[in-house]
Amino acid sequence: MSCQSLIILLLGSGGREHALAWKLSQSPLVHHVYCVPGNGGTASTPKCTNHSDLPSPEKVSSFPALVSFAQRHGVNFLVPGPEAPLVAGVVDYFEQHAPGVRCFGPKSDAARMEGSKTFAKDFMRKHAIPTAKYQNFSSHASAKQYLETVDHPVVIKASGLAGGKGVIIPSSKDEAQEALTDIMLKSEFGAAGEEVVIEEFLEGNEISILSFSDGITIKSLPPAQDHKRIGDGDTGGNTGGMGAYAPCPSSVVSQAQMEEIERTVLRPTIKGMEDEGYPFRGVLFTGLMMATSGPCVLEYNVRFGDPEVQTLLPLLAPETDLAQVLYACTDHTLSSVQVSITNDVAATVVVAAGGYPSSYPKGTPMKLKDIPEDVQVFHAGTAVDVEGKLKTSGGRVIAATATGKTLKEAVEKAYGGVKAIEFEGMYYRRDIAARALN
Ligand SMILES: Nc1ncnc2c1ncn2[C@@H]1O[C@H](COP(=O)(O)OP(=O)(O)O)[C@@H](O)[C@H]1O
Ligand SMILES: [Mg+2]
């Protein structure tokens, strides 16, 4: 099969999936994108249709229905957005039951790099990839004892998938012990907390790097910076991400540091995975702390992340075709495909429902009016109801992305885009990229 007429099955319903659908639909290689389930944004994207009647793609029990849907609709390319189906083996399942469908994403053995933080940490130790000092535990008693002996601030991580909530940064030993009890004895994160990583707390600037790989070649997008906390000045609870910008200025990551990351982290990761017999095909998302000792890996994700992807896709140069890049990752031809970036800077501001990341209302009517031409609005938690009206359906509802010649211009334009969004209780951070701008 060549990638001449791609009929894509795109799994997921977030801002990431709208951004992917938006970019993929622009490719002349793409004939149609079936979004399962999709959201209010993919519903009105050219070449895209939503299919919310299928069972949730997150679960193994849904895989047979997805394969049968793919076969009925002539799908030849699978693009899973979220981590859960990848970790659960959706790629393995399709390779076995629908061999005519190419899959962009790692098989379950490679997806352990995200699905198990203990696994990822041991991989990094074995391959000498810089990361915070740590120990893994599966018994509460030994974790408790270890915690009593360490003399540095720690971070406590539930090993399994916890929807971005499984990491605790305690401010005292007592709080750390409490977190261990909650995770390991009270099963706060269910099976995800059966194992924990206790690692050294690192200080510094955090960055995200998204890299395409076909298992051997690696091509990275410029470093992006997310804003994880809900409140201005990085205060309040952790979220899925409230805004991002890219590329990071050299005060955050210099060219030399970027080369160091390539040399000490990205290439050894892809090489190590190949050597271990679970090559990585897909997009590797490496979260790094620019610590005083140098760049350190905080975690790997095995898929695109938002809001980074909303910020990075608009930076792809016109001659770079995302569909071709994704396809090249599945047939070992990434080395022959250009991944070019414009000289622009991009910024994304996420608009959330009031109350998020705690409880928040759903089903609030929304209006989008006079969206500036140079702003791209990416839906996340939105849905179109039976009457065709747009409503909120999640915590992070929608985002505005803009590019500019400078970071300042991109940020101003993105905030201009936020003005076009209207719903009761909407909330957004006012300081996206503020630190980089100062
Ligand atoms: N060793 C560390 N030192 C300081 N902060 C950390 C450390 N590990 C994680 N964090 C913080 O916790 C957040 C979540 O941790 P991460 O490992 O990315 O897990 P997940 O995204 O699965 O919740 C990170 O974005 C970072 O802000
Ligand atoms: Mg993370």
Of 177, 200, 223, the residue that ends a domain is 200
* Domain shared by 252 and 295, yes or no: yes
Calculate how far, in angstroms, residue 363's C-alpha sits from the geometric centre of ligand 2.
Answer: 28
* Domain shared by 155 and 234, yes or no: no
* Domain shared by 262 and 376, yes or no: yes
* Domain shared by 323 and 433, yes or no: yes
What is the residue type of 369? K
- Bridge partner residues of 263 (DSSP): none
pLDDT score at 313: 98
Q: Residue 219 and residue 427: Cα distance in Å, rounded? A: 35
* Domain shared by 171 and 236, yes or no: no
1 inside domain? no
Q: By residue range, what is the domain housing residue 144?
A: 133-200
- CATH number of domain containing 169: 3.30.1490.20
What is the residue type of 272? G
303 inside domain? yes
Q: Residue 79 and residue 103: Cα distance in Å, rounded? A: 6
First to last CA, the chain: 51
Q: Where are the alpha helices (DSSP H) in 134-206?
A: 140-149, 173-180
* Domain shared by 194 and 212, yes or no: no
* Domain shared by 260 and 325, yes or no: yes
217 inside domain? yes
Q: In this predicted structure, which of 35-39, 350-354, 386-390, 415-419 has the lowest mean pLDDT?
A: 386-390
108 inside domain? no
Q: Pseudo-torsion of CA 69, 71, 76, 82, nearest 10°?
A: 30
* Domain shared by 358 and 306, yes or no: yes
Calculate how far, in angstroms, residue 308's C-alpha sits from the geometric centre of ligand 2.
Answer: 12
Give the count of domains, the chain: 3
**Distance set, CA 359 to CA 38, 186, 396 (Å):** 23, 22, 12
Q: For the segment 173-201, what is each residue's pLDDT rounded down to a tens digit?
A: 999 999 999 999 999 999 999 999 999 99
378 inside domain? yes
Q: Residue 207 and residue 224: Cα distance in Å, rounded? A: 6
Of 173, 200, 227, the residue that ends a domain is 200
Kindly state if the Cβ of 206 falls inside 6 Å of ligand 1.
Answer: yes
Q: Which phi and psi angles does 43 have, rounded to 5°? A: -60, -30
* Residue located nearest, by CA, to atom 23 of ligand 1: 164
* Domain shared by 196 and 209, yes or no: no
Q: CB under 8 Å to 190, separation ≥6 — which residues?
A: none
pLDDT score at 2: 61
Calculate how far, in angstroms, residue 375's C-alpha sits from the geometric centre of ligand 1.
Answer: 30
Calculate how far, in angstroms, residue 152's C-alpha sits from the geometric centre of ligand 1.
Answer: 16
* Domain shared by 242 and 325, yes or no: yes
Across the range 30-49, mean pLDDT stands at 97
* Residue located nearest, by CA, to atom 21 of ligand 1: 164
Q: Where are the alpha helices (DSSP H) in 12-171?
A: 15-25, 63-72, 83-87, 90-97, 108-115, 117-126, 140-149
Calculate how far, in angstroms, residue 359's C-alpha sits from the geometric centre of ligand 1.
Answer: 23
151 inside domain? yes
Q: Is 36 exposed, middle or buried (0-12, 13-18, 19+ CB in 10 A)?
A: buried
Kindly state if the Cβ of 344 falls inside 6 Å of ligand 1.
Answer: no
- CATH number of domain containing 324: 3.30.470.20
pLDDT score at 164: 87
Nearest ligand by distance to the CA of 167: 1
Residue 232 CA, distance from chain mean position: 22
Q: Is the pLDDT of residue 1 over 70?
A: no
111 inside domain? no
143 inside domain? yes
Q: For the segment 349-406, what is each residue's pLDDT rounded down to a tens digit?
A: 999 999 999 999 999 999 999 999 999 999 999 999 989 999 999 999 999 999 999 9
* Domain shared by 160 and 291, yes or no: no
pLDDT score at 3: 64
Of 103, 121, 146, the residue that ends a domain is 103
Kindly state if the Cβ of 130 falls inside 6 Å of ligand 1.
Answer: no
Kindly state if the Cβ of 161 falls inside 6 Å of ligand 1.
Answer: no
- CATH number of domain containing 51: 3.40.50.20
* Domain shared by 260 and 409, yes or no: yes
